Structure 1
Amino acid sequence: MNAESQLLERATVLVVDDTPDNLSLMSGLLKDHYKVKVANNGERALRIAKSENPPDLILLDIMMPGMDGYEVCRQLKEDPTTRDIPVIFLTAKAEVEDERKGLELGAVDYLTKPVSPPIVMVRVRNHLALKASADFLRNQNDFLEQEVVKRTREVTAIQDVTILAMASLAETRDSDTGNHIRRTQYYVKALAEHLRGHPRFASILNDNSIKLLFKSAPLHDIGKVGIPDRILLKPGRFTPDEFEIMKSHTTLGRDAIEHAEQQLGMSVEFLSMAKEIAYGHQEKWDGSGYPRGLAGDAIPWSARLMAIADVYDALISRRVYKEGMPHEKAVGIMIEGRGTHFDPDALDAFLALQEQFRSIAATYADSDSDMAHKKAQLDRLTAPSGAG
């Protein structure tokens, strides 16, 4: 027995008619082939159709006291839980207009009394077979949609894990950073959400671009992987030559991400934004930043937001060679950079959100054990050669 035959053998047919003789006749005709349920009025028919074990097909009389068959069919087709149950009208109403109305309400067939038993059986079987095929396709589509959602989640998770792994790799080389990645992610997201209604940013900030910004932000310092330890881990001020090498982390970061894109063989939207952030987050609004000395709106918007997040976090964060600056003092320094270091409108957004920034910093604060580990790492990596 094939799958379709098995489905048909298990099918349930609901017969709806107010006349006991008609219910008995149809039950006797169908019972050797299907499970049969009966209802002698429209209200009972709807209760059975909406139960935990609904019928696979309904044979429905039209002329019944109270709720007629037309109304029963209309309610069945309006309800998402019952609209896919095929309805065959089985009625003494034989006018063309009656049949038209029944089919327009969503019935799949229209049979007039007195019925021909062989014709009833063939019509019932055909419509049950069609329903079985439709249910199979619907289940397959639901399965495929679920698989697409599942695979999309997996791809997104792989992307996120890869980004965080790459960013964490950079941070293992920089003893200063701790939870810097997480904090800056939420800082830039807060800025972007605040600015999405601003005239200068409304055309570029939307749900998708903010999502990409949040996903890309952790790669802003990926280029630090390429900076020598003697410079990256130096606790004091850089010499001019050392600073030039340190500045190259922006170009190294962009090139690393670009190389990853080339290996993929295609452009990836969030990696394109990550390149902008890595390459441009040290630019300054007045053109005095690096690596290209861009000014104003020539600096990508994503890099401008990251500049605010990066500088604020550097000011308030503890380092192995300094204590974190109080929030109020950090805000004062940020204000001094409005229109010189920072995009003025973006800095105004920061000022409006400063309590949210403070809350983010507290939520993802570096622990004492983190700092002790960082100090030990710095001591080990900067110890004189041959030290025990």
Structure 2
Amino acid sequence: MSAEQSHYHRATILVVDDTPDNLMLMTDLLKDRYRIKAANSGEKALRVLQGDSLPDLILLDVMMPGLSGHEVASLLKHDPRTCDIPIIFLTALAAIEDEIHGLELGAVDYITKPISPPLVLARVDTQIKIKAAADFLRDQNDYLEQEVERRTREVMAIQDVTIQAMASLAETRDNETGNHIRRTQHYVKVLAEQLRDHPRFRHFLNDETIRLLFKSAPLHDIGKIGIPDHILLKPGRFTEEEFEIMKTHTTLGRDAIQHAEDQLGIRVDFLCLAKEIAYSHQEKWDGSGYPQGLAADDIPISARLMAVADVYDALISRRVYKQGMPHEEAVEIIRQGRGSHFDPDVCDAFLANVGQFQAIAERFADSDQDMARQLAALERIAQDP
């Protein structure tokens, strides 16, 4: 069998005509090249088209009792399942107006009776080839869309794994737990969603930005990996010199993320937010924070959100050297910091969602194993010369 013959035998044509002689004529004419299905009414044609296997082309008589060919064509073109099947009208209506009407209904061609067999074969062959090409392109587009979606999922997964790996690396050096990372991540999302329609924030907070904030928030303390153990793990208050060293974790974090972005050679949106958060989440609304002493709206929005999330979690979290502060007391401290430590509107967003913050804290509470790990870290630093 030649490639052309193989092509023909793969194609199926539905012939619809209420006259038995016409059905027989068209079947005899086309059967050597195509698989043929026949229907002697519009209603029967619709039943045939409800099956699992759709034809590649429909030859449709116009004047039939019951549903006319025009009515059948209109129904098929309004059905997403059948709208792409090409229709050729076969009819005795030869007026130009009839042909125009048929084409307006979505037909690809219009053949008048009595038919010319060579003309019918040529026009059917043309439409079958066009349909095959359209199906190929549609399949290719579907494949490409699926491939883009798959690649996008892979990229997203790689981003998530990278963030978790970097955050976990910092966690191994800190006396805080991975639950702190998860809690602050969810706190930031709650604040962002509360403020997304606020006049001061709606230009920045949308679905994509909130997703990126959630993704990048775990890197807020990545710079602590560069702080010496005897300072990072110290349970008591820092000396002035120690605190100056501790404050450098903001710059170390930003620079580490910038280095990762430089290695990629492209700008990455979630890393841009991660740099903002790592570098500026210790800034205060009144300008008394660090590392730059930024104030008010000069502080990136991402960092203002993290400031509230980070302080609240630090207050309520238990450590081997302290008990966690009761939720109500932590809320009051945040309230008192409104307009000094914290952006007033971000603080208000927190106060409007204190129940969600408490629920997140309980959901990701530190376990006894977390406390044991903290104690081991403190014992390690105590044994260092």
If the TM-score is normalised by the length of the shorter chain, which range does it land in?
Answer: over 0.9
What is the CA–CA distance in structure 1 between the aligned matches of 2:172 and 2:264, rounded to whole Å? 26
After TM superposition, where is structure 1 displaced by more than 2 Å over at least 4 residues in a row? 1-8
Contact 2:168 2:178 (8 Å CA) reproduced: no
The TM-score with structure 2 as length reference comes to 0.97
2:6 match: 6
Specify the alignment match of 1:311 in structure 2.
Answer: 311
Alignment partner, residue 359 of structure 1: 359
Deviations 1:126-146 (A, max 9, x none): 211111111011101100110
Question: How far did 1:6 drift?
Answer: 2.9
- How far does residue 266 in structure 1 lie from its aligned partner after superposition? 2.5
CA distance in structure 2 between the aligned counterparts of 1:262 and 1:147, rounded to whole angstroms = 27
- 1:7 and 1:132 in contact (8 A); partners too: no
Distance across 2 between alignment mates of 1:2 and 1:260 = 57
Which whole-Å CA distance do the structure 1 matches of 2:158 and 2:289 have between them?
A: 34
Aligned to 1:282: 282
**Equivalent residues in 2 for 1:373-384, closer than 5 Å:** 373-384=373-384
Aligned mates of 1:221, 1:311 — CA distance in 2 = 13
Q: What TM-score do the two structures reach when normalised by structure 1?
A: 0.96
- After superposition, the Cα gap between the structure-2 partners of 1:2 and 1:84, relative to the gap in structure 1 and judged at 3 Å, is farther
The equivalent residue for 2:119 is 119
Secondary structure of 1:179's match?
helix
Q: CA deviation at 1:289?
A: 0.6
2: CA distance between counterparts of 1:63 and 1:249? 82
Match of 2:271? 271
3-state SS of the aligned residue for 1:36? strand
Supply the distance in 1 between the matched residues of 2:61 and 2:369 (Cα, whole angstroms): 78
Q: Which residue of 2 aligns with 1:34?
A: 34
Q: What is the alpha-carbon root mean square deviation over aligned residues?
A: 1.4
Q: How does 1:108-187 map to 2 (within 5 A)?
A: 108-187=108-187
Which one-letter code corresponds to 2:271 in the other structure? Answer: L
Runs of 5+ consecutive residues of structure 1 not aligned to the other structure: none
Task: Give, in whole Å, the separation in 2 of the partners of 1:4 and 1:322.
Answer: 82
The residue correspondences of 1:218-237 to structure 2 (distance < 5 A) are 218-237=218-237
Q: In the alignment, which residue of structure 2 is the partner of 1:83? A: 83
Q: Per-residue CA shift, 1:46-103, capped at 9, x if unaligned?
A: 2222321111110000001121101111111111110111111111111111111111
User: Which secondary structure state, in structure 2, belongs to the residue aligned with residue 173 of structure 1?
Assistant: coil
Between stretches 329-338 and 240-249, larger displacement belongs to 329-338
Code of the residue aligned with 1:201 in structure 2: it is F
Q: Which residue of 1 aligns with 2:256?
A: 256
Asked if structure 2 preserves the Cα contact closer than 8 Å seen for 1:50 and 1:82, the reply is no
SS in 1 for 2:52: coil
User: 1:217 and 1:5, CA in 2 relative to 1: closer, same or farther beyond 3 A?
Assistant: farther
Mapped contact 1:4–1:129 kept (Cα < 8 A): no
Which letter does structure 1 place at the counterpart of 2:188? V
Q: 2:90 & 2:308 partners in 1: Cα distance?
A: 74
- Residue 66 of structure 1 aligns to a residue in which SS? coil
Question: What are the Cα deviations for residues 135-169 of structure 1, in whole angstroms up to 9, with x where unaligned?
Answer: 01110110011000100110111011101111111
> What does the per-residue CA deviation read over 1:276-304, in whole Å, with 9 as the maximum and x for residues that have no partner?
11110000111111111111111111100
Which range moved further: 65-74 or 369-378?
Answer: 369-378
